[in-house]
Structure 1
Amino acid sequence: MTTVKTNAIRRPPLIKWFAFQAVVVFLMGALFWIKSPVAAYSALAGGFIFLLPNVYFALKAFRYTGARAAKQIMGSFYKGEAGKLILCAVLFAIAFKSIKPIDESALFLTFAIMLVTNWLTPAVMGGKTQHS
């Protein structure tokens, strides 16, 4: 009799990943402090405009596990992504409406850096999510 070894797909270590990304946001704020306090808080806003919708997505997308929940998994990914985009747009609108003065370049540059950081986080943090 042989035993079948299955590779269960695990959730990625989201708390570690988001903690790492939050550190990057605060580092960007500190770097922009060199330019000005306005650039610093604008950079923080840009970073959190990226980070908060991604936390929402992760909470939605990784609610279900297992092959039997494939339909729920797909649905939660689509709902999470739609909610993330809407939340991102709302947060940008709030930032531009309520943060005065604002350094647009610091806000958008930090947002863009967080996009790249998001792509690199699994590699930097040891992104293996499966057992072998």
Structure 2
Amino acid sequence: MSQALISHGYQQAKKLLMIQALIIAFVSCFGLIKEFKVAVALLSGGMAVFLANCFFVYKAFSKSGAQANKQVVGAFYLGETIKIFLAVGLISVAFWQLPGFEIFALAGYVVALLSQWLAPIIIKTH
């Protein structure tokens, strides 16, 4: 892969992460209407996905070049595997630390997942 292509993909990934962060913050602010802990739970659930995605972007774009083809694929798979475990671990911590507010943490998690799936519709990615 050319360095320009890698750079373009990395810039697109950063835009998608920024949109995801804004959506998580926006939804968390709505939680303040009900109660502060609701907002914290929404933010915690969303951050579980967001932080995992940040790690994946870092790992996926850490290798480049036609000579490093196997390293690129390996970095992608390793990044995705760790991303899944990281997200599960972080949402588990949110459940453990916020008893009684698990549904809101889960809602934040789902909103963050939906935002990553819908973000390409929001911005032009090609």
- Match of 1:125? 123
- Match of 2:112? 114
Q: 1:80: Cα distance to partner? A: 0.3
Q: 1:33: Cα distance to partner? A: 1.5
Q: 1:93: Cα distance to partner? A: 2.4
Residue identity (%): 31
For the 8 Å contact 1:17–1:121, the answer to whether it is kept is yes
- Which one has a larger percent helix, Structure 1 or Structure 2? 2
Higher mean alpha-carbon deviation, 101-110 vs 115-124, is at 101-110
Structure 1's 119 and 12: CA in aligned 2 closer, same or farther, altered over 3 A? farther
Gaps of 5+ in 2: none
Distance 1:122 1:54 in 2: 15
Q: 1:35: Cα distance to partner? A: 2.0
Distance 2:40 2:70 in 1: 41
Distance 2:124 2:26 in 1: 21
Q: Deviations for 1:95-130, whole angstroms, at most 9, x for unmatched residues?
A: 22223x4422211112111111101212312211xx
How many residue pairs align between the two structures? Answer: 121
- Match of 2:44? 45
Return the TM-score normalized by structure 2: 0.84
Alpha-carbon RMSD: 1.8
- Match of 1:30? 29
For the 8 Å contact 1:50–1:114, the answer to whether it is kept is yes
